[in-house]
Structure 1
Amino acid sequence: MERSIAGLAEREGLYFLAKRNPGGDLGNKWELPGGKIEVGETPEQAVIREWFEEMELNVQVGSLLSSGHFTHHNKKFLLEMYRVEFKDDPKVLHEHLEWGWFSPEEINDLDLAGSDRIVLSAFMEAVEPDPKLS
């Protein structure tokens, strides 16, 4: 099984997503920036590398927020989503058309990559307040 990583940034209750360039299986889909872990890399190193390669952003990596399994082209993957923080907004997009900050409700309406929907849903369910406790 291959491992992939993604980073989730949050500011004031909004979450950062980027829309992929056209082409390929994920063309024009919204996603959490990330990718495959290379040989010899830790997941945290992979997050830092991927965010810099995709948007030239220097990020700080926090804790593992959620994970999930998915299959792509008959290959099994484990996707791990880590918290990330960064100061400046992206000025360069190498793999994406656009980016934005979205509320959980807005994310539900986006054409999101399936693997990212798995980890985001698990995360959102864990952080939503329990109505029985309100």
Structure 2
Amino acid sequence: MAEKQSSTKSGFSAEERAAMKERAKELKAAASREEAMQAVVDAIADMEDADRAIAEPLHELIMGGDSGLAAKTWYGMPAYVGADGKAVVFFQAAAKFKARYATIGFNDSAKLDDGDLWPTAFGVTAWNDAVAKRVADLLARAV
């Protein structure tokens, strides 16, 4: 004999209500990811030309690969987070901080450890094939 599912006045069982809540949570998370991605795209579009020339290909490299990272803004700048929601890699525009170079940085969740001392932030003045390769290598190690 099949187990009877408990139901309420709404006509849905507790199991059905739980499944609907889970689905609503999934839809909300998907919408949040889309909104977060749009916020990053908008932040990049608002950058000055020199910063945007670095941020756009960086964004394409990270989102086009199989890093498993998701985009979101972090302090108003593009950041890329792991499954735990913590930023792994981020971009700081030079113009925002009146610096002479933009920065690509890695947080402690990035697996870049190399002995007792290793770099976690890199000044970038231009995006080119050598920079793209170095960043791709760092991303592969970071995640």
TM-score above 0.5, yes or no? no
Bigger relative CO (Cα 8 Å, ≥ 6 apart): 1
Query: Which structure shows the bigger proportion of residues in helix conformation?
Result: 2
Compare CA radii of gyration and give the structure with the larger one: 2
TM-score, normalising length from structure 1? 0.25
TM-score, normalising length from structure 2? 0.24
